[in-house]
């Protein structure tokens, strides 16, 4: 008897942004998903290959679609690649129209407490009744909850890197969760496709700057994931893609004698042994080593001289930090093998 591949339909609302384009790239070679709708808002009617020539061979002659809630709701999975705030209005419409599964790449449904949105996003949440229905889409933390879920809030790129860098030590009770420091640098694609004065070539080239001092909106995600108080400082690096998170924590009281670089590396390898997209390395992770892949590279050190645990994680902010994670979650909620259609080998040089 011939084996028949299970084909599922996918709709992407917001396919013309960078995360949408990355979804189009990944789904073009996914054996189970067929992109039936790819909306582009202001780009509707524009050739996909005209905006993204790299997608020309996969989407020959195809244009970005107009937003059509009824058509999107018929898909097996709806991906939302929209700016913050937009999904709050669209998700209720999709649910009312009968959407089966939704994976939202924005921050609109990541936080469970609606009171956090005015603090970190400066607006009241428009659909607070739905917050508890969404599962946070970091499989390394919430895999069991994702299996069979129908609403997923795909994680932020910075929280993914910051969390994976410290998660094993935090879960083992080895670090003081009262004060964790996350310094992370991102490529410019993290700011999105629309032009902004601070992301033009002349502004970014040969520059390296910190931003969002003390109040970056990804902070509460990391605090939720690690169960820690986090001081987060993001930086903009003059590169297209990638995030490098360098994270610091003090040992938990009374646990200092248990810590060494060797013991921490052993812990991390054991903790991530069954994770298909996390590699623990003896060397220092680099963004280029993860370019185009859904892999996070992680390492850890203990500095007895200063008394700090140092965790480092590198990811591609558009793949493991956004669209790759969304596809990973879609695989899980659709009953597919988690690794299906996702690259584990980066592009080099």
Active-site option among 63, 157, 202, 247:
157
Residue 104 DSSP SS3: strand
User: Between 219-226 and 157-171, two packed helices, what is the crossing angle to 10 degrees?
Assistant: 20
Instruction: Report the DSSP pairing between strands 175-186 and 296-303.
Output: unpaired
H or E element, residue 328: helix 324-333
- Point out which residues pair with 186 in neighbouring strands: 236, 243
- β strands within 212-335, DSSP E: 230-236, 243-251, 278-280, 296-303, 308-315
Tokens found for residue 301: 């050190």
| Distance from the Cα of residue 163 to its chain's centroid | 11
Q: Which residue in 217, 44, 23 sits closest to 118, CA to CA?
A: 217
Answer yes or no: are the C-beta atoms of 97 and 81 closer than 8 Å. Answer: no
Name the burial class of residue 114, with classes exposed (0-12), middle (13-18) and buried (19+) by CB atoms within 10 angstroms of its CB: middle
Answer yes or no: are the C-beta atoms of 326 and 105 closer than 8 Å. Answer: yes
247 carries an active-site annotation: no
DSSP per position, 37-89: EEE-GGGTTSBHHHH-GGGTTTSTT-BPBPP-HHHHHTSSEEEE---TTTHHH
Q: Please list the active-site residues.
A: 157
């Amino acid at each position: 008897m011939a084996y028949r591949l299970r084909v599922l339909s996918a709709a992407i609302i917001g396919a013309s942004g960078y995360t949408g384009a990355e979804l189009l790239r990944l789904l073009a070679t996914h054996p189970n998903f067929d992109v039936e709708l790819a909306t582009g808002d202001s780009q509707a009617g524009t050739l996909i290959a005209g905006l993204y020539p790299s997608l020309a061979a996969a989407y020959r002659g195809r244009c970005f679609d107009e937003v059509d809630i009824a058509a999107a709701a018929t898909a097996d999975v709806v991906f939302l690649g929209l700016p913050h705030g937009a999904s709050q209005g669209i998700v209720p419409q999709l649910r009312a129209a009968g959407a089966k599964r939704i994976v939202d790449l924005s921050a609109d449904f990541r936080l469970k407490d609606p009171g956090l949105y005015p603090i970190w996003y400066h607006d009241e949440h428009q659909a607070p009744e739905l917050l508890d229905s969404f599962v946070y889409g970091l499989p390394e933390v919430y895999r069991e909850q994702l299996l069979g879920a129908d609403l997923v809030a795909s994680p932020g790129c910075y929280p993914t890197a910051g969390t994976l860098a410290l998660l094993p030590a935090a879960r083992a009770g080895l670090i003081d969760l009262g004060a964790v420091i996350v310094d992370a640098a991102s490529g410019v694609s993290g700011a999105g496709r629309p032009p902004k004065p601070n992301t033009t070539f002349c502004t970014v080239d040969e520059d390296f700057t910190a931003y969002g001092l003390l109040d970056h909106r990804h902070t509460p995600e990391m605090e939720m994931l690690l169960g820690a108080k986090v001081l987060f400082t993001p930086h903009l690096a003059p590169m297209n893609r990638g995030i490098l998170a360098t994270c610091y924590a003090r040992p938990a009281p009374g646990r200092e004698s248990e810590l060494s670089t060797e013991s921490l590396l052993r812990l991390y390898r054991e903790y991530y042994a069954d994770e298909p997209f996390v590699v623990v390395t003896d060397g220092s992770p680099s963004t280029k080593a993860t370019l185009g892949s859904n892999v996070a590279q992680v390492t850890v050190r203990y500095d007895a001289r200063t008394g700090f645990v140092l965790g480092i994680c590198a990811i591609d902010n558009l793949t493991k930090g956004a669209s790759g994670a969304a596809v990973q979650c879609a695989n899980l909620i659709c009953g597919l093998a988690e690794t299906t259609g996702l690259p584990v080998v980066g592009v080099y040089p």
